[in-house]
Amino acid sequence: MQQYIECKFVIEPLQPWSEILMAELITIGFDSFTEEQDGILGYIPVSLFDEKKFDELVAFNSYEVKISYSFAEMPNINWNEEWEKNFDPIYVEDKVLIRAEFHEANPNLHEIIIQPKMSFGTGHHPTTHLMIQQMLEMDFKGKTVLDMGCGTSVLAIFAKQKGADRVVAIDIDEWSVENSKENAVRNQVELEIAQGTADNLGKDTFDIILANINRNILISDIPTYAQVLHKGGYLLLSGLCFFDVEDIMKVCQENNLELIGKQQREEWMSLLLMKKEE
């Protein structure tokens, strides 16, 4: 069982800096958070923890916010059990319900059923909500789709449920890959699930690419996404704070990707781009 470190961050002012700090902590290995009245609790595997990396974060170098922190190694915990105890159903625009098997079904809503293990992307995070929200308005019928950094594969499952012909789901984390396979079975959909990164894409091509990751990986991988995206195809991005958009758009414009829609939830953004015909 993987050992974790719990970091308590006291933040003043709390907003918008708690969201900004969470976004930055994800880039250095933190994978889950709990909000407190005066800040946040962040969790990171012991193997990834490096206190010196805090000095590289914008939030720790801004005169607009004061952050103090303490940390301690956690005792062995059954994280799956903890997720189950704290996992509530998620509603997106009263159209989509993301729930676990132990929640009550709602036949009036489009349902996605997942087992809430230690994978990012249960739907509780604003970026996952934003992705589903944008996907509601997109046409997936007969399309080839890539869910990059798939987590629980909630986005891949939704794409398949919306009529996608072929859906590929890729994540660097072995736990996410196994959880995605289980969730595909739960929702009775067929996904091509693999462990890896954008480097694994090869010559495969797609009509739609979904990438809810973080700014650093997106900036690195957008040129690859553009190469494997069909002309006229769509790239839907999230995992971004509002202050990341300028840097992301610079890379997108350099790779012939045109912004056609964006949405914001709290401090988080999603961007819908189209590959221009040239």
91: left (phi over 0), alpha (psi -120 to 50) or beta: beta
Those residues whose C-beta lies under 8 Å from the C-beta of residue 58, and which sit 6 or more positions away, are 20, 24, 243
Judge contact between 219 and 247, C-beta under 8 A. Answer: yes
Q: In the beta sheet, which residues pair with residue 32?
A: 43
Give the SS3 label for residue 227: helix
Which residues participate in the annotated binding site?
Answer: 128, 149, 171, 212
140: left (phi over 0), alpha (psi -120 to 50) or beta: alpha
Which residues participate in the annotated binding site for S-adenosyl-L-methionine?
Answer: 128, 149, 171, 212
Distances (CA, A) of 203 to 71, 190, 194: 44, 21, 16
